[in-house]
Amino acid sequence: MKEFTKESKQGILATGYHNLRLSVWRWQLFDNKPNKMRVAKPVAGKVILMLCIASFLAGSLFTTRTSSIHSSGNEDLEKLNTVARDCDHKRKLFEGSSSGDIMGEVTKTHQAIQSLDKTISKVEMELAAARTRKSGSSNLLSMHKSSNQTLQRAFVVIGINTAFSSKKRRDSLRETWMPRGSVLILSPSLARSREKLKRLEKEKGIVIRFVIGHSATPGGVLDRAIDEEAAENKDFLRLNHVEGYHQLSTKTRLYFSTAVSVWDAEFYVKVDDDVHLNLGMLVSTLARYRSKPMIYIGCMKSGPVLSQKGVRYQEPEFWKFGEEGNNYFRHATGQLYAISKDLAAYISINSPILHRFANEDVSLGSWFIGLEVEHVDARTMCCGTPPDCELKTQAGNVCVASFDWTCSGICKSVERMKNIHNTCGEGDGAVWNVDL
């Protein structure tokens, strides 16, 4: 719309006013009729001026409004274009990201979670050890009474379950797969042999101890015999526990609680004293799972629940396992099993409220029900005695452990242990060659 100057506006107003006066004068000049007629009054100049100004203002307002709408429309269009460009940029970034980058981020997250799990497990283990040292120092005898002792670092603690009457069994292990402890004896060659136990702990982090409590009459003949044997061989872990076959679940629970309070190990193992063990194979098997928490390793089985009184392995609480003829839940056989340190810490922390069944391997398995525990069925941990383990060794599949199922251990182990070791053993240098 064209713009008006001040001078043009005044000219238009003057012209309009002059034309209106001229029209009124002409009407009066030619009207000579004598009759009365109603003469129109002339329109005031001020009214005409106001009408002109109002018309001008209305036109100006229309022009400004049109310009404003046009300007607003341009701004909205520009905003839409900006949003469209931003969305297109983000879409290109998403489409440009490769699957490899995404998998890389997933891997980093998984590693962070694993690291956090290990940290939590370490804290739980330290808490368990602190609690055991504080409230249960009486669980240890004189060699472990100090509640302020520093935890000894280790890769694995191997506890060999034994009894007062099993000295010959213990000697058969010391002469085969178990290095002997540090002791001063007359024969220098035998002294060097017994130093291997200390060296194994220092160089490989492998701790081996016979685990035993005390008799019903503390300080009696049986206890004094163990004290003398322990002083000679330096390979015992003594528990404040009354020995007895029907107390194995209690002994197992106390063993793990005590071991956690003395050693900061990655794994804790329980093995019977009539089982042949290849240390190198055992350590290699455990090392495959050292980065995983909550690990329970052994030969998993699910035997029948025996309710008949008087039979071996009879379960007094058979009714808790359902109808007659049912089997136990899956658990590791009691001759040999291993657990990670977080599970050992769990046992130590919750020891007072863990239920004990008649059979210690069933008890251990029951303690892990309801937990996020990974059960590892390692069949090399339950090979048979020759010819079974012999054939496997010849084929290059050396067993972790060997025993007879019919005897729940090696039948006549004292007489046969050396022969089984020569036939199915991995070699005396195998454990020293394992890289941990």
Given its phi and psi angles, is residue 219 left (phi above 0), alpha (psi -120 to 50 degrees) or beta? left
Name the more confident of 151 and 298. Answer: 298
pLDDT of residue 24: 43
Look at residue 6 and tell me whether its pLDDT is greater than 70: no
Buried (b) or exposed (e) across 305-340, using 16+ Cβ within 10 A? Answer: bebeeeeeeebeebeebeeeeeebeebbbbbbbbbb
pLDDT of residue 436: 79
Instruction: With cut-offs at 50, 70 and 90, classify the pLDDT of residue 45.
Output: low
The region of weakest confidence among 204-213, 258-267, 312-321, 380-389 is 312-321
Q: Which residue has the tokens 């808490």?
A: 127
Instruction: With cut-offs at 50, 70 and 90, classify the pLDDT of residue 115.
Output: confident
Q: Which residue has the tokens 């283990």?
A: 125
Pairwise CA distance, residues 303 & 266, whole Å: 29
| Per-residue pLDDT tens over the stretch 247-282 | 899 999 999 999 999 999 999 999 999 999 999 999
Look at residue 174 and tell me whether its pLDDT is greater than 50: yes
pLDDT of residue 218: 86
What angle is formed at CA 369 by the lines to CA 363 and CA 374, rounded to 5 degrees? 105
The chain-wide mean pLDDT, for the chain, equals 80
Q: Which residue has the tokens 């003949």?
A: 221
According to DSSP, the residues that pair with 159 across neighbouring strands are: 209, 270
Helix axes 167-174, 221-233, angle to 10 degrees: 10
pLDDT of residue 42: 57
As a three-state string, the secondary structure of 196-246 is HHHHHHHHHCEEEEEEEEECCCCCCHHHHHHHHHHHHHCCEEEEEEECCHH
**CA-wise closest residue to 253 among 237, 236, 270:** 270
Name the more confident of 118 and 306. Answer: 306
Name the more confident of 155 and 45. Answer: 155
Look at residue 133 and tell me whether its pLDDT is greater than 70: no
Which amino acid, residue 105?
E
**CA-wise closest residue to 147 among 135, 159, 155:** 135
pLDDT of residue 74: 59
Instruction: With cut-offs at 50, 70 and 90, classify the pLDDT of residue 71.
Output: low
According to DSSP, the residues that pair with 272 across neighbouring strands are: 161
Name residues whose C-beta falls within 8 Å of residue 272's C-beta, 6 or more positions apart in sequence.
160, 161, 334, 335, 336, 403, 408, 409
The region of weakest confidence among 2-11, 294-303, 333-342, 408-417 is 2-11
pLDDT of residue 159: 98
Sign, CA torsion 132/135/141/143: positive
pLDDT of residue 314: 85
pLDDT of residue 139: 44
Look at residue 30 and tell me whether its pLDDT is greater than 80: no
Instruction: With cut-offs at 50, 70 and 90, classify the pLDDT of residue 2.
Output: very low
pLDDT of residue 93: 55
Strands ordered across the beta sheet of 152-161: 236-242, 206-214, 152-161, 263-272, 331-340, 295-301, 374-377
pLDDT of residue 26: 47
Instruction: With cut-offs at 50, 70 and 90, classify the pLDDT of residue 98.
Output: low
pLDDT of residue 20: 44
**CA-wise closest residue to 169 among 255, 246, 275:** 275
Average pLDDT score over residue span 219-233: 94
The region of weakest confidence among 18-27, 94-103, 294-303 is 18-27
Cα distance from N-terminal residue to C-terminal residue, the chain:
92
Name the more confident of 85 and 250. Answer: 250
Percent of the chain scoring above 90 in pLDDT: 52
Pairwise CA distance, residues 135 & 147, whole Å: 9
Average pLDDT score over residue span 49-65: 69
Name the more confident of 169 and 30. Answer: 169
pLDDT of residue 101: 72
Answer whether 140's CB lies under 8 Å from 255's CB.
Answer: no
pLDDT of residue 134: 54
pLDDT of residue 118: 64
Pairwise CA distance, residues 343 & 209, whole Å: 20
Long-range CB pairs of 43-49 (<8 Å, 24+ gap) are 45/17, 48/13, 48/16, 48/17, 48/20, 49/13, 49/17
